[in-house]
Structure 1
Amino acid sequence: MNRGSVMAENNQDIIRLLIVDGLAEEAEAILNVFRDAGHSTRAHHVVSMESLDEALSGRQKWDLLLISELDVPEALTISGVIERIEQQGRDVPAVVLSDQQDDEERLSLMKLGVRCVIPQNDDELLLLTAEREIADLNTRRNYRRMSVALNESEKQRRNLLDDQVDAIVYVGEGVIRYANPAFSELIRLDDEDSLVGKAFKELVIASDQSDVDEFLASIEDSGQALAAVQCTLMSEGDELPVRAMVTPTSFDGRFTLSLLVRQQTEQQSSIAHTEEARVSKPDSETRLFDKKQFQEHLDVAIQRVISGKEKFAIICASLDTLKSIHAKGGKRVSQPLLMEVAKRLGLSLIEHKACSWGGGQFMALVKAADEATVQSIADQVLEEVSGTPVTVGKNELPVKLSLGSIFLTDANSDAKTLLVRARNACAEAHRQGGGRLCFYQKRKVNVVSSVEKQLAGMVSQAMQSDNMKLFYQPVVSLKGSEFGHYEVMLRMMDPRGREHDAANFRSKLDKNSLWGKVDRWQVIQAAKDLMTSKADKLKTRMFVHLGGNVISDKGFLPWMGVALKAAGIKPEALVVELSEQNVVRFSKEVPDFFKAVKDMGCGTSVCEFGCSLKPLETVKALNLDFVKVDASFTKDLTAESKGEELKEMVRKLSDSGKQVIVPRVGSAVEMAPLWHSGVDFIQGEFLQGPADNMNYNFEE
């Protein structure tokens, strides 16, 4: 929905809308706002309480309720619609389209449960509001799914812990939150006695209580990823020497310490001390942790940030001079350089957690609450690590670092994403010349006042510079056909040399006169390509997608007839294709347009089908040869519904004499359900991607 992204890819996440509007034409216009923005849609037109109940009674989840305040059907009220949805326990955010300027009226709507009130004809605000509300809705849905998954996971973990042979106890803030049967057995506690809620130190002999309590508190405060403690527990009046491996974890959604407790003999004491030193210390030479240890520390830090205990940041450091030095001197020179830099970096960050990440990059986890603190640490690293050259043999090698940083936050807590973004910030520092720190900045999209105007300029420039090209993708019959069919696909090269599929921006331009020129160019170029191809000219048909402008352009079809004749192409070779949203938008003109196309001898087709309010009624009266369903239906083939909606639609279209095409078939998994669904044609990468020629072997 990002209107600022001029070349945004088509969004294949289906938006499911409930539209309350007394006029079907207005409801379709609202729907077209989303489709013009590149979204696949499913919609239900609510005109009565019965139609609302029908929509809510199925298994379908709805994403947004749009209510046109000026055209609410007589049988409905805004409050009644919202109450009915709430009564059925559905979470569907409501947005009211209104020209009401009165603040009290807006406030009364918000009190009813309306999430937002926006001006009736502000399409851009509608899209931005819908984006926000659907994002919030998906967050709530994910939270519910994760809550169920967490509860199930906790049940399974309790079962596993209960069956463990090792004694395990979970301690948070000094209090026992869980102890498995093996731990109770270790200290000879009756099964019916519960330890939950008791202070862990009460199980420790008096002389060790203070030390153990302070040790666990320090581990909890520091967030140390792995530690060990030796103490003596009380067991029915006897003393029981034990050793506990302490690991930070979470339990019942709270930060907790997991203690793996084992009875210890005197002979095991020296071994235990050795193991403790190994697990709790970094490399003795570089003072850097290995990757696994660092990631454990990072996981703990994320838990502590989410629980509000501390604030952390990641710093990524890259040795910019390594690549050029390796190219000149090889490993003989670059390896000693890298080792010396690692030593300097480990010493500079000795109070923090740092590791070598490979490829001349290092990661550090630092305690920092603000950018000033991180900048101070970075300045120290730059001075101590790159302040003096490294001497290797007789060579003095320069050291140049680039640093990138990102903070750990509640909203930024995925470990993999954090590490990638830290590296991106480091790369930005390198682009700025190195020797500096850059903080990760979320990429900002420049919002333009008129996306259409900017796009029109780019398309016009591409036409003038001959930077447009046609590609052809085979449309293959599943029932056998004497013709070989191809979809004509337009692509444009922008000033930066990037290629863009017209399908991603056509809907924003195809209603103005500029796109009429593009359509004329397409027809001429496709005719030329067919004449110069090796394909059988009499047995080849091309689907050419035309914009909405040609529907009202009285001179287009006569011109097209002349152009085809001049190129030596018979009209039967061309199938004129219109999008469903343009068929809806120009519903009065389209029947005559398609009739004229048929009278010329060309074929007719509607594409992106199935996303209007009543798609079957939309094409019922049209003289169509083909109907190409929207690509979102292909995606449904691998969903839980197994494409049932598509199969039902195919059946009804076939009964009405229309041949059905399913596009974007990308795998055998998507292909399998289509064999027995009644579909006539398929198209997609599974068969062949777009090519600059028409040489597909349809007989294979």
Structure 2
Amino acid sequence: MQAKEAIRLLICSESQHEAETVTSLLRNAGHATRAHIAQDMDTLKAKLNDQVWDVCLCYMEMSKLSGKDVLTEIQRQGKDIPTIYFHDDIDSVMAEKALKSGAVDLVPSGEYNHILQVVLREIKNLKLRRELREAEALLREAEKRCQVLLESAQDAIAYIQDGMHLFANDSYASIFGYDDSDDLLTIPLMDMVYSKDQGRFKIFLKDFNAGKTRSAEFQCKMLDIAGKEVDSRMMFARATYDDEPCIQVMIRANNGNADLEGKLKLISSQDLLTGLYNKQYFNEQLGDAVDQAVISGSNGAIAYVNIDHFGKCKVDVGIEGADMVICDVGHLIRSKCREEDLVARVGEDVFAILLHDSKAEQAQGFAEHIRKAISEHLVAVDQRTIQVTCSIGVALINESSRSPKEVLQHAHEASYFVRKLENHEKGNGVYLYNPAQLANTDSERLEAKIQDAIKNNTLKLLFQPVINLRDEGGEHYETLLRLVDSDETDVSPQNFLADISPELKRKLDRWVILNTGKRLAQQRVQGHDTRLFINLTNESLTDESLLPWLQKLLQASKLPSHAMIFQFTEADAINHLKQAQVMTKSLSKLGCKVAISRFGSAIDPYKLFEHIHSDFVKVDGSFTQELNTEEGMASLKELLTGISEHEKASIVPFVENANIVAQLWTSGVNFIQGFYLSGPSTQMNYEFNDD
């Protein structure tokens, strides 16, 4: 369990309220945020030297600091910090000047939703730039190691561009009788191929360069320096050498094991049931296709063919009969594809087709051709005739494709979206992946899934111990809600709460309180002095009917009210300050305890204590991430001291190793929590006395 890395926000503004508002916006959008204000040049310089910043929000005109001065200082220090200007009145001339000076945007003051979108965009862009710099450094290291390996490799390796040798290692030169590999740099590869094989070789190279051949091997006779024939097996791969696109050639002299190696390679790439390619081989070829698209701008697509209602088919004809259906459909798909298309079985009832040199309209048309052929096809199973349909999702491969895994996932999602199309509720359709349309439908599907989980009581509660370092009584756990996904994996609320309606959030909170109360009652009946932290959403702060309902629940369950500790985030409390004030006072009157979580991200976090009663304060997890530095430990100790001065019990989460425990022991913290102590569990069976 790891805390999300906090966004480092440097705000150059004379208004602390404005800074708090922007910080709250980011936190409400699900981003841990640590913000600091700079109102003069000395503070700005100190902050820039103090740590790495992700975004700078800056008013263009301030009494002690101008936007131009801020940007000049950032540029002087050579920092990559996207700077966003604010101004009350903006015109096109001002915007042009701001962008020319190096700002990434100029946003009207007070347009907070606009500001949020710009900040999130620049965070994403900054992350990509950092990843690019890291990747470039790793690439340089890899190229150095690769060059050493190439020169000393026993395999014969050369790089070819426009038919000429760019590089050849000593092993390559040795096969053809050359003493110096540099002598090959003036010799075309074609001249080294036996004359009778040159025609086949030209066709192979043409198809290989066009991506029309699935095989990267070519066998022929080659000639050494003395004109003597050398039986060779060449293996080709696209590559770059000295930043130039080229072809890598590896040559092995043919031996008696060549046929055996070829057969073993073929077997390892086949699906045993259908004889088509298997998922592993498909993923390898998909990776090559995506890399080629990114490097050279080529186009391609995946057609993800999902047999509709295959479970019912297995019930109707049995497992063996279903295997016959899969084999028959697989052979039909292969017969309808071009020779250069790669067809694989990638799941029990799923086929994938890799289409080279294919754009959106072509891929959709081809998928429709496959869909129609399958829907009209009759499969003979014993004495029965079976007819099946399929849902086909299409995802494009182009220069914007990020990874093979993502492309395959898009095709998978598109195949499931077919059943959302009008008149295709049972499948039998084609859909080209469209992220905007899928996002809307995903939200609807998520709401329906959560509603169903509440109705059928299939949500999951986990419990993670919260350890008291001050030897006080009571066993504390935090209740953690999980939604169980279709593949039986647990989904954390942080991955779905932002996408559901306020009404559904309130329903979830009621479900959590009710079922936590039941588990708490069972635990206390067994003699445990157990107390549970219960996380509530921002919607519960504004839910006036929650307190009367909670009072009835406590009376009916006969639970001691102090055993329930209701926990809100700092951001929610700040954004709904008046409601939070009323709610926390009312909870205290009921005898319940109150905790504030993700504390310390606000500009002045202690100001919250002037308005809201709380018994516990859990610091933001980003503080724990920084304990490996002196500055990070000092920041946490300062925060813990402030919490203690306000007479609140402090909690530090995400304690992941023994070193952190040792550091926290002397820091004054009251409670700690994390995987080093114990991860979340379905049972409350932690041995607190063993600490």
Instruction: Choose the corresponding residue for 2:56, options 47, 54, 65.
Output: 65
Q: Equivalent residue of 1:404, what SS?
A: strand
Aligned residues between the structures: 663
Contact 1:37/1:507 (8 A) holds in 2: no
Q: 1:294 aligns with which of 282, 288, 302?
A: 282
Q: SS state of the match for residue 324, structure 2?
A: helix
The answer to whether the Cα contact below 8 Å between 1:468 and 1:492 also exists between their aligned partners in 2 is: yes
Question: Within 5 Å, which residues of 2 pair with 1:54-453?
Answer: 54-58=46-50, 60-69=51-60, 72-191=61-180, 193=182, 195=184, 199-204=188-193, 212-222=201-211, 224=213, 225-235=215-225, 237-252=226-241, 255-263=245-253, 268=255, 288-308=276-296, 310-320=298-308, 322-351=310-339, 352-429=341-418, 432=424, 433-442=426-435, 444=437
Is 1:482 paired with 2:473? Answer: yes
**Which secondary structure does the structure 1 equivalent of 2:428 belong to?**
coil
Check conservation: 2:460, 2:482, Cα contact below 8 A: yes
- What are the Cα deviations for residues 523-542 of structure 1, in whole angstroms up to 9, with x where unaligned? 99999998997379997767
Does the C-alpha gap of structure 1 residues 601 and 290 become closer, same or farther in structure 2, counting only changes over 3 Å? Answer: closer
Aligned position for 1:673: 660
Higher mean displacement: 203-212 or 73-82: 203-212
Q: Cα 1:626–1:508, aligned 2, differ >3 Å: closer, same or farther?
A: farther
**After the TM superposition, which of the residue ranges 118-127 and 208-217 deviates more from structure 2?**
208-217
Letter in 2 for 1:404: G
SS at match of 2:64: coil
CA distance 1:312–1:197, shift in 2 (3 Å)? farther
CA distance in 2, matches of 1:21, 1:392: 75
C-alpha distance in 1 between matches for 2:91 and 2:173: 67
**Contact persistence 1:244–1:259 (CA under 8 A):** no
Structure 1: distance between partners of 2:499 and 2:642: 25
Task: Give TM-score scaled by structure 2 length.
Answer: 0.76
- The alpha carbon displacement at 1:611 in A equals 0.9
Determine the structure 2 residue equivalent to 1:5: none
- Structure 2 counterpart of 1:23: 15
Q: Which residue of 1 aligns with 2:487?
A: none
- When structure 1 is superposed on structure 2, of 222-231 and 33-42 the one drifting more is 222-231
RMSD of aligned residue pairs (Cα, Å): 5.5
Change (3 A) 1:49 1:385: same
Larger Rg: 1
How big is each residue's C-alpha offset from its partner over 1:21-51, in whole Å with a ceiling of 9 and x where there is no partner?
0233332232222223332111221122222
* SS class of match (1:193): helix
C-alpha distance 615-223 of structure 1, shift in aligned 2 (>3 A): farther
Question: 1:106/1:697 Cα in 2 relative to 1: closer, same or farther (>3 Å)?
Answer: same
Distance of aligned partners of 1:315 and 1:21 in 2 relative to their CA distance in 1, 3 Å threshold: same
Counterpart code for 1:478: L
Q: Classify 1:687/1:406 alpha carbon distance in 2 versus 1 (closer, same or farther; 3 Å).
A: same
- Name which of structure 1's ranges 569-578 and 436-445 shifts more when overlaid on structure 2: 569-578
Q: 1:541 to 1:254 in 2, by over 3 A?
A: same
Tell me: CA distance 1:50–1:283, structure 2 relative to 1, closer, same or farther (3 Å). closer
Secondary structure of the residue that 2:120 maps to in structure 1? Answer: helix
> Superposition pairs for residues 440-589 of structure 1, below 5 Å?
440-442=433-435, 444=437, 474-485=465-476, 534=524, 579-581=569-571
1:314-372 CA-to-partner distances (Å, cap 9, x unmatched) read 11223336543432332443333332222222222142221222413222112353333
Q: Is the 8 A contact 1:227 1:279 kept in 2?
A: no
1:572 to partner: Cα distance:
7.2
Separation in structure 1 between the aligned mates of residue 100 and residue 685 of structure 2, nearest angstrom:
63
1:671-694 per-position Cα deviation (integer Å, ceiling 9, x unaligned)? 662244133212457647488x99
Q: Find the aligned partners of 1:227 and 1:533 in 2 and give their Cα distance.
A: 67
Matched, 1:42 2:29: no
Letter in 1 for 2:105: C
Give 5+ residue unaligned stretches, structure 1. 1-9
Q: Deviations over 1:251-281 (max 9, x none)?
A: 34665432222345xxx5x976897799799
Structure 1 window deviating more from structure 2 (77-86 vs 534-543): it is: 534-543
CA deviation profile, 1:92-117 (whole Å, cap 9, x unmatched): 11111222232211211111111111
Deviation at 1:85, TM superposition (A): 1.1
Task: Determine the structure 2 residue equivalent to 1:12.
Answer: 4
Query: So what's the TM-score if we normalise by structure 1?
Result: 0.76
Are 2:617 and 2:643, in contact at CA under 8 Å, matched by a contact in 1?
Answer: no
Gap change, CA 1:37 and 1:414, over 3 Å in 2: closer
Identity between Structure 1 and Structure 2 (%): 24
Which 5+ residue runs of structure 2 have no aligned equivalent?
485-489
In 1: Cα distance, 2:400 partner to 2:324 partner? 40
Give me the whole-angstrom Cα distance separating, in 2, the residues matched to 1:676 and 1:447: 46
The one-letter code matched in structure 2 to 1:662 is: V
Matched, 1:630 2:623: no
1:389 is displaced (CA, Å) by 1.2
Moved more, 19-28 or 209-218: 209-218
Equivalent pair of 1:168/1:260 in contact (CA under 8 Å): yes
Aligned-partner residue type, residue 306 of structure 2: S
SS at match of 1:677: helix
